[in-house]
Chain A
């Protein structure tokens, strides 16, 4: 490798230039065949890999939903009264009015 010389460089270039492989002609109608394939709608291939991805996505969405904090997802009336939203509301309302309201409900 150390004896690589400019002369070898030139000889290789000359060989490559003289003997660049002849590329076979494109088959007749190649462009139209590609056009035809471009017009076709892509086919989604159903396979085990894509099924696995779909199930994993559904499972992840379910886990996220289950982990949702109260007030953003699974809300019961009791849960809501413990929520941050209720706390804000409670803090903002005058205590006297709340007392009256609670009494009226009772």
Chain B
């Protein structure tokens, strides 16, 4: 009986409670939201995402899909915020003559933030999830509810666009 009860629990619930879920995923959720949403919305969006993660945790039955599902909730939290404001955050203005920043410097990180903001939302999502957070293509596909082929296609064009932005602004010589 206890084995059956154990099997019926969702993977997100299995390890006890909210603290474990938060400890395991708050860095990922915060990082994804920081890079795809507006920084001033970050704290609110993290809260919203965790409310949805906790309330919807029983919908996840396959532990291997937990990470992609958490990413999906985070991405959807950002999308909901954009919908509520009825606009997508515009790219940040950037001085085209900005001097080339050294790698690993605050300036280079800021340039990358501007570069991410210059991308379309769909391109930004795949770059952040795959290239910065290290989520596999298949997991990104699950998170965004698109095919793996579409993820690869978006990644290709997103990387070109980001590279050209960084090259144009001196980030990549």
Chain A residues within 8 Å of B, Cβ to Cβ: 1, 4, 8-9, 11-16, 18-24, 26-27, 30-31, 33-35, 37-38
Bound-complex Cα distance A37 to B95 (A): 42
Stretch of B8-16, B72-80, B109-117 on the interface side: B109-117
Contacting A at CB under 8 A, from B1-31, are 18-19, 22, 26-27, 30-31
A-side interface mostly = helix
Chain B residues within an 8 Å CB radius of A13: 131
Majority secondary structure, B binding face: helix
Q: Which of chain A's residues have a CB closer than 8 A to the CB of B46?
A: 26, 30
Which chain B residues border A34 with CB–CB below 8 Å? Answer: 18, 22, 47, 50-51, 54
**Chain B min CB distance to A10 (Å):** 11
Q: Which residue from A1, A27, A37 sits with its C-beta under 8 Å from B43?
A: A27
Instruction: Determine whether the beta carbon of B172 is less than 8 Å from that of A11.
Output: yes
A-B contact count (CB 8 A): 80
B90 smallest CB distance to A (angstroms): 18
Asked if residues B109 and A21 are in contact (CB atoms below 8 Å), the reply is: yes
Q: A29 to B19, alpha carbons, bound, how many Å?
A: 13
- Contact string against A for B residues 91-110, beta-carbon threshold 8 Å, 1 for contact and 0 otherwise: 00000000000011100110
**Contact assessment for A38 and B42 in the assembled complex, using a CB-CB cutoff below 8 Å:** no
A12 touches B162 (CB 8 A): yes
